[in-house]
Amino acid sequence: MALIRPATPDDVDHILRLIIELATFEKEPDSVKATPELLRKNLFETPYAHALLAFPSEDQNTKPVGLALYFFNFSTWTGRPGLYLEDLYVSPESRGTGLGKALFAELGKIAQEKNCARLDWNVLKWNQPAIDFYEKGLKAKSMSEWMGMRLEEQGIANLARGV
């Protein structure tokens, strides 16, 4: 039986390994700038986000093969918090074993405990296996009427300077 548990500071190397695997799968391996130090600081010392790890068995001495990294946001329309899933990843050798669904089940429990109105995430348009899993396996609905927007570091700096 698989094990899903919250990550601890001792897990940062595993978390980074899974993030790099995800970035490689998403064809962006050079985009990862995270380090063990940054993950330790931002997940545990000043917890801006949280992580769940998935293990193929209840033996925690095995390496984790899945990751869900999430944080809480807020819905002005519902007046309640929401849970935003930043990344979900299951190693290729463990896909189809129920670990993705188990990670989502744990996220669902957390969202209910925190009285979240919704659980949101993004998926790359080309990742059809993931889309199928979300739509068919989880009965999630796509939010095609919304478009994501982003400012990266230079854009944030320009904004802060009033540019």
- Catalytically active residues are 134
What's the first-to-final CA gap in the chain, in angstroms? 54
Q: How far is CA 46 from CA 34, 59, 105, 130, in A?
A: 15, 29, 26, 31
User: Length of the chain, please?
Assistant: 163
Residue 61 burial by Cβ neighbours in a 10 Å radius (0-12, 13-18, 19+): exposed
